[in-house]
Amino acid sequence: MTNHTEEPLESEKKALNFIETIIEEDNLSGKHSGRVHTRFPPEPNGYLHIGHAKSICLNFGTAAKYGGKCNLRFDDTNPEKEETEYVDSIMEDVRWLGFQWDKEPYYASDYFQQLYDWAVLLIQKGLAYVDDQPQEEISRQRGTPTRPGIESPYRSRSVEENLDLFTRMKNGEFPNGSRVLRARIDMTSPNMHMRDPVMYRILHAEHHRTGDTWKIYPMYDYAHGQSDYFEGITHSLCTLEFEVHRPLYDWFLDQLIDTAYRPRQIEFARLNLSYTVMSKRKLLELVRSKIVNGWDDPRMPTIAGLRRRGYTPASIRAFADRIGVAKRDNVIDVGLLEFSIREDLNKTAPRVMAVVDPLKLVITNYPEGQIEEVELVNNPEEPESGSRTIPFGREIYIEREDFMVDPPAKFFRLGPGREVRLKGAYVVRCESFEADKNGVVQKVLCTYDPETKSGSGPKQPKVKGTLHWVEASTAVTAEVRLYDRLFMDEDPAGHKDQDALEFLNPDSLKVVSNCMAEPMLAHVQAGDKFQFQRIGYFCADPDTRPGKPVFNKTVGLKDAWAKMAQKDGQ
RNA sequence: UGCCCGAUGGUGUAAUUGGCAACACGUCUGACUCUGGAUCAGAAGAGUUCAGGUUCGACCCCUGAUCGGGCAACCA
């Protein structure tokens, strides 16, 4: 089913979520003879986001856990909004997350004929009728949540007339919006969805798969449950807003089938992430208005965006696992997502030397023109990853924020008279510095002690700080794109009078073009992930060209000093 | 002024057919460290929205209230 079943030990110990509880009860009662078959049913009208990832992990993961299957089904009943581009991106994203659907992808549009035949059946049973009224009138007659609706004057048409009209609707004899087919249920139902819901509307539109063969298209409510039925779905998992649709989901099935097998709709709470918007509409708006650079902008909560940002499938699966599933509304701290990717990359990402904001440091007593190779471990978390050498010399770059002219006592880095270790190399002492007329430091002058060479040196003094650095003459210039949250408000879409866009973070993207990196980074491939020592995790962007690497900051390392400094500042 | 759903530390999720609340993230200590990362050790933090009821015993069952969310596309 999927390549990523949990460790048996762990999954056995873990408490069941409410869906698993239902499944186990079903298995006990023999309801589906132990069969578990789920489906992930996206509408191909946009890119998948982290909220969908939750649903994907839930549907595929649950099926896998019980040795079942999971279908990928495109819910493509609205030709006006759906496009092949989205179908392709959705398949790519699901695969990338590490899941494999049963057989070929399914499409609700594959069932158009059967759905049509069943609609005819409903008409014959007197359970559906053609309504000639305009949309506004139908809407008015529907009533309100607190007021019952009234019946359409067309509600009691003869079966023959309904059949004739419906056939002609199908044949394209009527213009868009002129008629609909409605289920004949109960206009006084306290559940709005049961007040003679629309089953079919006339749409003279080009469908991405069926072209122009259909002039009428089924509505979600009429298509979904039956699609589940056709595919043998046992547990149809969807989000909470469909809870009130469930009676309708069951009603259609009740009228149409009499088998013992019946799919069951189960609702769970969708994912909300702090400092993030999750609706497709809002995301589309960000793309269209060019606030971000496309669906895969690394600031987007889309799967494509997270991928480009440097997130791994495993980290997203771990995240989905950690947040759990329940029915209550929830807001997950984005910090948890960040924790998940740090956890993964800490174990797997090679450590490299790169200076994001370079400040020149000259070792005045180091021989001019001399370059030596120093050895560095590739990943201390993974000893088998070995080590490499990088050049060291008289002139190097250090991080600008690692030097202070007048540092406080707790600043364990460089300042006049202070000593610090250059990771993998020597201990240096700051003798002086040069600044321009504005007081901006241009150069730090140090002396080094040749006896303190990392590992081999006879003197290994304890120093409070260790800095990362890059040798100047061999450094590779890299572009680095630093990302911060797109929104400054915890719940940007949660304000009644203000649009989410009012909370945009003006500094969500900072491009730094003169970063200095160790030589090997000239040859990275898009998607390569690294830990820039002491800074954070970075991922080579597709914009990378030979010798001209471009990196996206995936997430920063935890920074105890920054936290301390921030606290003192407050 | 209707119907449906929900309510457990800061956040999220548990507590398996009622036995005085667990785990993860976060927070705070301390140890270790040639990444102020990681790791390790420890701590604080909820008495389960409220009020009744059933029971020897209630997060769990019942009643009522409060609060929060959803529902009036020819969207999904």
pLDDT at A327: 96
Give the number of other CB atoms < 10 A from CB of residue A364.
Answer: 13
Residue A1 domain flag? no
pLDDT at A175: 98
3-state secondary structure of A532: strand
Pair (A449, A527) in one structural domain: no
Average pLDDT for A387-397: 98
A495 touches strand B (CB under 7 A): no
Q: Which residue is nearest to nucleotide B68 (CA to C1')?
A: A329
Residues 372-391 of A with CB under 7 A from strand B: 379-381
Average pLDDT for A219-225: 98
Residues 127-156 of A with CB under 7 A from strand B: 133-135, 138-139, 142-146
Closest CA relative to residue A341, chosen from A119, A62, A538, A114: A538
* pLDDT band with cut points at 50, 70 and 90 for residue A13: low
> Which CATH number characterizes residue A253's domain?
3.40.50.620
A81 touches strand B (CB under 7 A): yes
Measure, in angstroms, how far nucleotide B22 C1' is from residue A235 CA. 29
Pair (A319, A414) in one structural domain: no
Quick check: is A282 catalytic?
no
Q: Which of A248, A268, A288 is the last residue of a domain?
A: A268
* pLDDT band with cut points at 50, 70 and 90 for residue A468: very high
Nearest nucleotide over every DNA/RNA strand to the A15 CA, judged by C1': B14
A51 touches strand B (CB under 7 A): no
Pair (A310, A397) in one structural domain: no
Residues 88-117 of A with CB under 7 A from strand B: none
The strands making up A37-40's β-sheet, listed across from edge to edge, are A37-40, A69-74, A106-107
Q: Could you tell me the residue range of the domain that residue A544 belongs to?
A: 280-350+478-567
Quick check: is A280 catalytic?
yes
Pair (A264, A232) in one structural domain: yes
Residue in A280, A309, A453, A553 annotated catalytic:
A280
Measure, in angstroms, how far nucleotide B64 C1' is from residue A456 CA. 78
Measure, in angstroms, how far nucleotide B33 C1' is from residue A448 CA. 22
A329 touches strand B (CB under 7 A): yes
Pair (A119, A243) in one structural domain: yes
Pair (A110, A257) in one structural domain: yes
Measure, in angstroms, how far nucleotide B39 C1' is from residue A453 CA. 26
Q: Which of A219, A245, A268 is the last residue of a domain?
A: A268
Measure, in angstroms, how far nucleotide B29 C1' is from residue A560 CA. 14
pLDDT at A361: 98
A558 touches strand B (CB under 7 A): yes
Closest CA relative to residue A399, chosen from A365, A444, A445, A432: A444
Pair (A193, A232) in one structural domain: yes
Q: pLDDT (tens digit, 9 = 90+) per residue, A504-525? A: 999 999 999 999 999 999 999 9
Residue A299 domain flag? yes
Q: pLDDT (tens digit, 9 = 90+) per residue, A477-488? A: 999 999 999 999
pLDDT at A11: 38
ipTM of the complex: 0.96
Cα–Cα distance, A351 to A335 (Å, whole number): 22
pLDDT at A332: 97
Residue A245 domain flag? yes
A491 touches strand B (CB under 7 A): no
pLDDT at A2: 40
Residue A381 domain flag? yes
pLDDT at A1: 39
Pair (A202, A170) in one structural domain: yes
Give the amino acid at A308.
R
Measure, in angstroms, how far nucleotide B33 C1' is from residue A240 CA. 48
Q: What percent of chain A has pLDDT over 70?
A: 98
A82 touches strand B (CB under 7 A): no
3-state secondary structure of A227: helix
Pair (A175, A322) in one structural domain: no
Q: pLDDT (tens digit, 9 = 90+) per residue, A536-570? A: 999 999 999 999 999 999 999 999 999 988 887 75
A415 touches strand B (CB under 7 A): no
Closest CA relative to residue A333, chosen from A284, A274, A382, A375: A274
The pair of three-digit structure tokens given for residue A509, joined into one six-digit string: 């993207």
Q: pLDDT (tens digit, 9 = 90+) per residue, A316-340? A: 999 999 999 999 999 999 999 999 9
Residue A125 domain flag? yes
Measure, in angstroms, how far nucleotide B31 C1' is from residue A57 CA. 39
Average pLDDT for A277-306: 96
Residue A484 domain flag? yes
Nearest nucleotide over every DNA/RNA strand to the A193 CA, judged by C1': B71
Measure, in angstroms, how far nucleotide B61 C1' is from residue A445 CA. 76
Cα–Cα distance, A299 to A528 (Å, whole number): 18
pLDDT at A570: 59
Q: pLDDT (tens digit, 9 = 90+) per residue, A355-369? A: 999 999 999 999 999
Pair (A64, A95) in one structural domain: yes
A527 touches strand B (CB under 7 A): no
A204 touches strand B (CB under 7 A): no
Measure, in angstroms, how far nucleotide B21 C1' is from residue A297 CA. 43
Q: Does residue A4 carry a pLDDT above 50?
A: no
Residue in A209, A262, A270, A534 annotated catalytic:
A270
Residue A233, CA distances (Å) to A7, A238, A379 in order: 26, 13, 46
A240 touches strand B (CB under 7 A): yes
Nearest nucleotide over every DNA/RNA strand to the A217 CA, judged by C1': B74
**Residue A299 · residue A292 · CB < 8 Å:** yes
Q: Does residue A342 carry a pLDDT above 60?
A: yes
Residue A473 domain flag? no
CB neighbour class for A530 (10 Å; exposed up to 12, middle 13-18, buried from 19):
buried
Measure, in angstroms, how far nucleotide B35 C1' is from residue A501 CA. 37
Q: How many domains does chain A have?
A: 3
A421 touches strand B (CB under 7 A): yes
pLDDT at A8: 38
Across chain A, what does the average pLDDT equal? Answer: 95
Q: Cβ neighbours of residue A328 under 8 Å, at least 6 residues apart? A: A269
Residue in A6, A31, A43, A209 annotated catalytic:
A43
pLDDT at A418: 96
Pair (A307, A367) in one structural domain: no
Q: Which of A410, A433, A468 is the last residue of a domain?
A: A468
Pair (A426, A493) in one structural domain: no
Nearest nucleotide over every DNA/RNA strand to the A374 CA, judged by C1': B34
Radius of gyration of chain A (CA): 31
Average pLDDT for A179-197: 97
> Which CATH number characterizes residue A409's domain?
2.40.240.10
What torsion do the CA atoms of A300, A304, A307, A313 make, to the nearest 10 degrees? 120
Q: Which residue is nearest to nucleotide B6 (CA to C1')?
A: A328
Residues 459-488 of A with CB under 7 A from strand B: 460, 462, 465-466, 468
What's the whole-model pTM score?
0.95
Residue A307 domain flag? yes
Q: Does residue A351 carry a pLDDT above 90?
A: yes
